[in-house]
Amino acid sequence: MYVNPDLDKPIFIQIAEQLEDSIFTGTFPEETKIPSTNEISVLLNINPHTVLKGMNLLVDEDVIYKRRGLGMYVREGAVERIRRKRQGQFFSQYVASMIREAVKLEMSKEELMRLIERGYEDECNPDQ
């Protein structure tokens, strides 16, 4: 984990996003313990309250939960909740801006679709 204090994005959000990504990619499987606020704060040399604020975002999204006296754990079903959230954000963050740029470049829908298909094939079949 790392934080970049030079970003416009608050540190607690950076922490929440990195923890979420670690859960989504399987670094922290469902029903396993995640590092404590103190462990993360020491690792990143930041205030534990900042870490807790980021973790509380994930608690609010029902991705992690607290076991009294034991720490924070990844909730069962967290990966699917994260997947649904990210799919919902995908259009607004990526597709809409790509279409706006294609329109500026006077690309046809067919040209854009060919580029997407080429990129998808390259990503799914890197050895070809």
Instruction: Evaluate whether 35 touches 23 at the Cβ level (below 8 Å).
Output: no
Q: Phi/psi of residue 33, each to 5°?
A: -75, 140
pTM of the full predicted structure?
0.79
pLDDT over 80 at 39, yes or no: yes
* Cα–Cα distance for residue pair 64/34, rounded to 1 Å: 9
pLDDT over 70 at 46, yes or no: yes
Q: Please tell me the predicted confidence (pLDDT) of residue 128.
A: 66
